[in-house]
Amino acid sequence: MTDPPYFLDGLDADWKKGKRGKRGTGSVGGLPIGMKFDSEQGKRLQAFLEPVFEQLIRILKPGGFMLVFSAPRLYHRMAIAAEDCRFEIRDQYIWQFTQRAQFKAFGMTHFLKKRVDISDQERKRLTEEMDGRKTPQLRPQFESILCAQKPREGTFVDNWRRHRTGLIDSRQSLTGNVPSTVMSAEKPTKDRYNCHLTPKPLKICEHLIKVFSCEGQTILDPFLGSGTTCLAAQRTNRFGIGIEINPDYVAIAEKRLEIEPRKSTRAAYEEFSKTSEFYLEDRKWIHA
Ligand SMILES: C[S@@+](CC[C@H](N)C(=O)[O-])C[C@H]1O[C@@H](n2cnc3c(N)ncnc32)[C@H](O)[C@@H]1O
């Protein structure tokens, strides 16, 4: 389960210091964050993700799931990258939120004022005619989540017997009903330990982990950020492995994992030891 850089507005492969990158992207200059449009962004995202997905399909168990957050505008490129790496695309889910969803569309008055080639009379007419007209961005209230699967070995039953993967846990529920493709949770607010730019809601990460894996299994996040995936894995009795390029975010992730008591390591270990010849002692893997 992961949430890679979105490749919008410089949140791309250059993301190191928790600040948006400065490199020229060919996008429209001088516009506020979130309003730049660059047709190369999607292609760059796809090229960035392909080698990552190659590694993920290599290490996932057959039938294992990959869940990836993305901006809706570039979702298709991410899905193509996954498909080209031999993942089966199972579905697209929606993380829906209602608050802190900034309406970023803007009107033309400012631009009209700057146009020296337009007469005052025509400017006045256009200003009236374009009243309420804005750039084409509705208020964003969701993000996409790709659900992809490594092909199974044999039937669902054969694959389950070999790997305990490939089937969802339909008893898990966010709303009292069966797990559905739309999941609602507000965007997390910055807290004492977490100043990451884009943390994901723990509630949704925990829910997805419970639906798509079993206790004692291992969840990998190659773009860990502030540690949400590992914290969700810890809370749901799974093991978590995170990779993060920015040491400041690694420190936040470690702090978040540390302050929450690991009540269930023993239970997770017992589950895990049924299927593995390794065990964990003092945070080190020991060969049995
Ligand atoms: C969208 S954020 C993940 C946020 C995370 N889901 C959370 O809840 O905090 C993407 C993360 O990927 C990291 N990142 C970017 N390029 C990376 C790379 N090449 N290797 C590892 N991490 C990288 C960024 O530093 C950033 O923290």
- What is the DSSP secondary-structure string of 224-275? -TTTHHHHHHHHTT-EEEE--S-HHHHHHHHHHHHHS--TTHHHHHHHHHTT
At 8, the pLDDT band (50, 70, 90 cuts) reads confident
DSSP 8-class letter at 73: G
Residue numbers of the domain that contains 109: 104-137
Q: How far is the CA of 157 from the centre of ligand 1 (A)?
A: 35
- For the stretch 36-70, what's the b/e string if a residue is b when 16 or more beta carbons lie within 10 angstroms of its beta carbon? bebeebbebbbebbeebbeebbeebbbbbbbbbbb
Are 160 and 98 found together in one domain?
Answer: yes
Are 115 and 201 found together in one domain?
Answer: no
Nearest CA to ligand 1 atom 2: 225
Q: Determine the pLDDT at residue 268.
A: 55
The closest-lying atom of ligand 1 relative to the alpha carbon of residue 6 is 1
Looking at 137, 158, 191, the residue that finishes a domain is 137
Residue 24 lies in a domain: no
Looking at 86, 117, 137, the residue that finishes a domain is 137
Nearest CA to ligand 1 atom 16: 13
At 198, the pLDDT band (50, 70, 90 cuts) reads confident
183: domain CATH number is: 3.40.50.150
**Can you tell me the mean pLDDT for 142-164?**
97
Are 125 and 234 found together in one domain?
Answer: no
Torsional sign, CA 174, 179, 8, 256: positive
Lowest mean pLDDT among 29-43, 97-111, 182-196, 202-216: 29-43
The closest-lying atom of ligand 1 relative to the alpha carbon of residue 253 is 9
Q: Tell me the best of 144, 186, 187, 224 to mutate to test the pocket of ligand 1, counting ligand atoms within 8 Å of each CB and taking the most.
A: 224
Looking at 84, 114, 137, the residue that finishes a domain is 137
Residue 186 lies in a domain: yes
Q: How far is the CA of 19 from the centre of ligand 1 (A)?
A: 12
Q: Are strands 239-242 and 218-221 parallel, antiparallel or unpaired?
A: parallel
Are 170 and 256 found together in one domain?
Answer: yes
Are 196 and 111 found together in one domain?
Answer: no
pLDDT tens across 47-94, in order?
Answer: 999 999 999 999 999 999 999 999 999 999 999 999 999 999 999 999
Residue 32 lies in a domain: no
Are 198 and 223 found together in one domain?
Answer: yes
Give 12 or 147, the one with higher predicted confidence: 147
Q: Tell me the best of 15, 48, 53, 231 to mutate to test the pocket of ligand 1, counting ligand atoms within 8 Å of each CB and taking the most.
A: 15
**Number of domains comprising the chain:** 2
Report the mean per-residue pLDDT for the chain.
86
Q: How far is the CA of 274 from the centre of ligand 1 (A)?
A: 32
Nearest CA to ligand 1 atom 3: 225
261, pLDDT greater than 90: no
Q: Tell me the best of 49, 189, 200, 223 to mutate to test the pocket of ligand 1, counting ligand atoms within 8 Å of each CB and taking the most.
A: 223
Residue 23 lies in a domain: no
Are 116 and 218 found together in one domain?
Answer: no
Are 221 and 280 found together in one domain?
Answer: yes
Residue 30 lies in a domain: no
Q: How far is the CA of 230 from the centre of ligand 1 (A)?
A: 13
Residue 1 lies in a domain: no
Residues contacting ligand 1 via CB (< 6 Å): 3-5, 13, 15, 196, 198-200, 223, 225-226, 228, 243-246, 249
pLDDT > 90: percent of the chain: 69
Are 142 and 109 found together in one domain?
Answer: no
33, pLDDT greater than 80: no
Residue 12 lies in a domain: no
Are 133 and 192 found together in one domain?
Answer: no
- For the stretch 15-34, what's the b/e string if a residue is b when 16 or more beta carbons lie within 10 angstroms of its beta carbon? beeeeebeeebebeeeeeee
Residue 3 lies in a domain: no
C-alpha closest to that of 226 among 199, 205, 208, 245: 199
Q: Determine the pLDDT at residue 196.
A: 81
Tell me the C-alpha distance between 278 and 265, whole Å: 15
Tell me the C-alpha distance between 237 and 232, whole Å: 9
At 288, the pLDDT band (50, 70, 90 cuts) reads very low
Are 275 and 166 found together in one domain?
Answer: yes
Are 174 and 268 found together in one domain?
Answer: yes
Beta strands per DSSP E along 18-102: 65-70, 88-96
